[in-house]
Amino acid sequence: MTAIFVCPRMLLSLLSGLIMGAAVLFVLYRWVIPTAVQYHGGLALLWHDIIVERALDTLTRTSRPQEEKQLPWQQRILKAVQRKATVGDPQSVITAIDHFCRHREWAMNVGDEKGSILDSVVSEVSPVTVLELGTYCGYSTVRIARLLPPGACVITLEFNPDYAAIARQVIKWSGLEDKVQLVEGASGDWIPWMKEHFGVQAFDLVFLDHWKERYLPDTKLLEECGLIQKGTVLLADNVICPGTPDYLEYVRNSPRYNSHYYRSHLEYTKAEDGLEKSVFLGY
């Protein structure tokens, strides 16, 4: 049997190469790529929402029974709220999520910068009835509900039951569950039943932050169902990144709407994004 002799110098060279390669990969992952994607919305979504999220979810996947499983990223957001936020204090919940998403793990909620624009619109409209399309982790729901006048409520629709499960806990932690009705299901299925199920005649404010391809058909469905009245404000997120060109063309060119674009940035980045505020002028 022939013995295999490994030269110590070759072994040291190989080990040094592996260490150097690992160091380069770490620097790319930790600093270079995140800095580069800060200024490009498409790359930011690809990097944060697909590559990094899938990697983290794979590394943190639990062995809980199927019926108890929740998406790992949601668990981490909820844990951040439970560690950092005060029960019954909505602002502390918002701050905890913002800190987590800016410094720990990116998530596609409306974010702090665009969230301030959302706050200003809610305060300006002072709505009694609000419809939110897309609950996600409950971040924007809390932002809206905390500013509502007494007796007002927000109905928020979420298609994904895993998202809804975490959002309910985030909303409850904020102490705003009495002002929020969270409904699971598709927006296209629920909108025609709003009047009958919730007794809503029309909404004062509609916040669109769900599937971007649903912005336009759901807006037209709201019109058809008479859930938009003269003075109703539609506020749409992510109209630039990932973008909603058909919706923008409709609200900007329709004589039924007076539309205004609020330029901002994709949540927790420097890539351009914005909100479109559209006031319904009547049929």
What is the set of active-site residues? 209, 212, 237-238, 267
Indicate the DSSP class of residue 138: S
Quick one: which of 172, 225, 217, 232 has its CA closest to 197? 225
Q: Which two tokens stand for residue 62?
A: 């639990």
Q: Characterize 167-201 residue by residue with b for buried, 16 or more Cβ atoms within 10 angstroms of its Cβ, and e for exposed.
A: bbbbbebbbbeebbebbbeebeebbeebeeeeebe
User: Is residue 6 helix, strand or coil?
Assistant: coil
| 216 closest CA partner among 189, 250, 239, 240 | 250
138/170 Cα distance (integer angstroms): 6
End-to-end Cα distance, the chain: 91
- Collapsing DSSP to helix, strand or coil, 257 comes out as strand
Q: Are 266 and 41 in contact (CB under 8 A)?
A: yes
Torsion 229-231-233-239 (CA) sign: positive
Which helix (H) or strand (E) element contains residue 63?
Answer: none
Q: Are strands 257-265 and 228-236 parallel, antiparallel or unpaired?
A: unpaired
Strand order of the sheet with strand 180-184? 180-184, 153-158, 129-133, 203-208, 228-236, 272-280, 257-265
